[in-house]
Amino acid sequence: MIEVIPLQSDAWRRYRTLRLAALRTDPQAFGSRYADEQARPATFWQERLQRSSVVTLVARRGEVDVGLAVVAPWPAEEDACGLFSMWVSAEARGHGVGDALMQAALAAAAALGCERMLLDVHHHNTHARALYERWGFAWVRETEEERTLARTLSR
């Protein structure tokens, strides 16, 4: 069974562990670097989880954390949330973790009052693109390295 829960600020070590695992195993999928984030102090991780406009979600399968997603305001777009840091561990891929995270992320965005959700995905990440398209995301703009996808949220 897959459980998705929002993290509270006292779970910063758990968040740090998952984020660093994502950066270590799939560095090409993120704009941040493992070495930079590993060096960040505890206050950085605590403050990230204390923001009321941000929801950090963790997916668990059994007793193991296997996925991460962050819902936060999308820069320069009113009434829009972004999906950031979406990641599923290699051993959990293909077992519904991405779908569980997407369902929870969309619900979190709606609860934050967002009307749309946007995300960026690298061109090479075909599995993630397929997941997002299955959930109704459509291409809205593109750069050399990535596409921005968006979808309207149900109220």
pLDDT at 24: 95
pLDDT at 129: 93
Token digits of residue 32: 């941040």
Neighbours of 82 (CB within 10 A): 22
Domains (ranges, CATH) in the chain?
Answer: 2-115 (3.40.630.30)
Q: How far apart are CA 99 and CA 105, in angstroms?
A: 10
Beta-bridge mates of residue 152: 116
Model confidence pLDDT, tens digit, residues 42-80: 999 999 999 999 999 999 999 999 999 999 999 888 899
